[in-house]
Chain A
């Protein structure tokens, strides 16, 4: 495995120059970059990532951390058109409080996130403000339990 991280470091540097201490670089590995920020800066960070050339949300999901009372929300972003950036997966992450699970949607920057955000909404109960369809997608229409991917939801028969 080649361990030349020039491209990765360059990308991270251009972001840290712009955002200074508003973002935190979680790690830079071969082909993997992860950057975290707070809830308010997520949208401007996403805009900058898109300006760097990353254009598709390949995956978006949440993780429940009941001990810290937060949801971690992550967007994995890739580039398909530029050969140089294709090998890199960019991950931007933020944490939101479980008491007010609400965050601004990113679909005006990344339209490909539309169904992913809808899925996160039904699986965690996180509302994306500005999303046109905050409704059930995969779960049955009559689902009335707590959202299933929260850690306090116990599978039937596993309690």
Chain B
């Protein structure tokens, strides 16, 4: 960890307080204040909020359509993953339902975004462990999936593609062929990733047995997403409480029992393959038809509330919208997976070595912008 400390404070005795971030090659827009005794971390206090933009308050000043772009910004790597639950909640309030074709295209976009997000994570994890090739390879392959998503959504990352009642526009006609070609290429690449990174003794030495989360702790602390599945719990909202048309496709939930950093990496790698399997099945199931249920005039909800959760790339994304019948929502509560995984990070860091901090920190796929909203 070069240049780890911006600020060092002597706590007396043998202990030092290190402020890691917000200007730090790893931490991103986030600070964690760790107390170290020699090389061991004895205390960790996260200090998020460097990207807190007040999305929940801003949502009260915008109507249901206007809310989509700014609610997307917290996780632009996983843009569909974060807007889909919002739109599903808004649909319950406005009382519309998207046609089947729109639901299938939403699934394609959600899975493409999951791959894009996981590849970004993998690239950064490579560089966290000092493996530059593993930065370049996933970042390069990620562009292929961005191209696919761009051909549907129109922009590289911020699509604002899913809207209440359906999706904005249809898929291009040759999408299936292009996508299958990309998947064929990428399936071979996954094997190469394993050769160069996952089966690399240096990589496993830095991650195996590091940051081990107990199954009971994971449940108790509210860990979610791939981090939970790496502890041996096969919980995935796509199967638990199915949404869109995920009940019509067949896929596996990758799990590991170990609960360490390596297990979390392997679970994400296997999820890449599962996402491609889902999309391949969707290509066979999808049929021509309308892509949007047109809603006339300004969208107004019935007074009431709705809450929905979906499986985004980082875990379960939750929205709770309260409506008072006006065109703007009365209250929007967003509960994001990174924010819930933060408590797990504190738990894992205490007792581990300072040198293992990057391996633990990014193995949780903590995205500060998402956590801060």
In the assembled complex, the Cα of A52 lies from the Cα of B251 at a distance in Å of: 30
Do A137 and B241 contact each other (CB < 8 Å), given the known contacts A76-B307, A112-B220? no
Q: Is the CB of B56 within 8 A of A112?
A: no
Name the interface residues of B321-352: CB closer than 8 Å to any CB of A: 322, 330-331, 333, 335, 339-340, 342-343
Which residues of A approach B to under 8 Å, CB–CB?
Answer: 31-32, 55-61, 63-64, 74, 76, 78, 80-81, 86-89, 91, 110-116, 123, 136-140, 148-149, 153, 155, 158
In the assembled complex, the Cα of A87 lies from the Cα of B57 at a distance in Å of: 29
Return the CB mask of B45-85 against A: 1 if under 8 Å, else 0: 00011001010111001000000000000000000000000
Most buried by B among A32, A81, A87, A140: A81
Do A155 and B57 contact each other (CB < 8 Å), given the known contacts A59-B335, A80-B228? yes
In the assembled complex, the Cα of A26 lies from the Cα of B340 at a distance in Å of: 27
Q: Is B154 close to A, CB under 8 A?
A: no
Q: Is the CB of B52 within 8 A of A58?
A: no
Number of A-B contacts (CB under 8 A): 93
* A61 proximity list for chain B (CB < 8 A): 320, 331, 333, 335
* A140 proximity list for chain B (CB < 8 A): 49
* A115 proximity list for chain B (CB < 8 A): 339-340, 342-343
CB closest residue in chain B, given A76: B307
Q: Is the CB of A87 within 8 A of B222?
A: no
Q: Is the CB of A80 within 8 A of B61?
A: no
Q: Is the CB of A58 within 8 A of B343?
A: no
Do A80 and B57 contact each other (CB < 8 Å), given the known contacts A111-B220, A138-B372? no
Q: Is the CB of A87 within 8 A of B61?
A: no
Q: Is the CB of A91 within 8 A of B233?
A: no
Do A149 and B343 contact each other (CB < 8 Å), given the known contacts A59-B335, A139-B49? no
